[in-house]
Structure 1
């Protein structure tokens, strides 16, 4: 496997069937134990790596299922919104992120319609940012629920 394909599949997680996007999101969940700042830094690193890998592995195929670096980056953004990692917070963040990634509400749908690596990466980054905002709102309006 080339380095670009390794990055794009998050070390092979994107090759797991069924539902490679779910596996790509799930593979980063243990990183919640590192805390918010490391998750944010890792989200940035995975985003940069995904933008690097995209042009090297993507062809005419639109957002192939095995390309899951975008799911990893988006999920890490959601995990960065958890002040203290808890099972409930991680599971809730995972469900919110996957729902946004699958349903693609605006502006996620707009980002998904963009061509090339930009569209592949940006829709999940926006889904992650929206998911993080929702988790922060839940924590604000229901103090202690994510602890």
Structure 2
């Protein structure tokens, strides 16, 4: 049975719904990615080792958070669950200069890969279920975006 999201009374849903950004009536994934940006700026201040640990913790916690939120809602991968977008964006921006052009390019590329879902992203999205499945397609979209960004960084500099 599908239940209404309650991100302001359930701590797990609060995280899964990206502090409420996933409640956006239009493009909740994009709204969640926008909401991930302020945290990106804070995480980037940790330096690459700290940033890496924080993203890995967010990824592993995200598997549990997304599974638990899905269980509470009674639906797999509710459109408002956007913690996976947070982590996917942070992966896309890993190791890049902390500057607006790179952040904007990372945002656009991550959203592009997440929406279009080229192979294997779409395959993983359809075949892997549970919290891992919710997270995995966005993790791979972030990796693909990050590879493109690092190639552009190498080429430009």
| TM interval, short-chain normalised | 0.7 to 0.9
Alpha-carbon distance in structure 2 between the residues aligned to 1:78 and 1:38: 16
Match for 1:71 among 85, 104, 107? 85
Contact 1:111 1:119 in 2 (8 A): yes
> In structure 2, the residue corresponding to 1:28 is in which secondary structure?
helix
> In structure 1, the residue corresponding to 2:75 is in which secondary structure?
coil
Which region of structure 1 is more displaced relative to structure 2, 29-38 or 121-130?
A: 29-38
**What is the number of equivalent residue pairs in this alignment?**
142
Question: 2:15 maps to which residue?
Answer: 7
Contact 2:63 2:134 in 1 (8 A): no
Match for 1:22 among 27, 30, 34? 30
Match for 2:61 among 35, 49, 55? 49
Question: 2:4 maps to which residue?
Answer: none
State the Cα RMSD in Å. 1.7
Instruction: Give the Å deviation of 1:36.
Output: 4.1
* Structure 1 residues 37 and 10: CA distance shift in structure 2, 3 A: farther
TM-score, length-scaled by structure 2: 0.82
Which ranges of structure 1 fall in alignment gaps of 5 or more residues? Answer: none
Alpha-carbon distance in structure 2 between the residues aligned to 1:49 and 1:131: 22
Instruction: Give the Å deviation of 1:121.
Output: 0.7
Alpha-carbon distance in structure 1 between the residues aligned to 2:33 and 2:49: 18
Question: 2:5 maps to which residue?
Answer: none
Contact 1:97 1:128 in 2 (8 A): yes
Larger helix share, 1 or 2: 2
Instruction: Give the Å deviation of 1:136.
Output: 0.5
Give matches, 1:61-140, under 5 Å.
Answer: 61-82=75-96, 84-113=97-126, 114-140=128-154
Alpha-carbon distance in structure 2 between the residues aligned to 1:17 and 1:37: 36
Alpha-carbon distance in structure 1 between the residues aligned to 2:94 and 2:49: 6
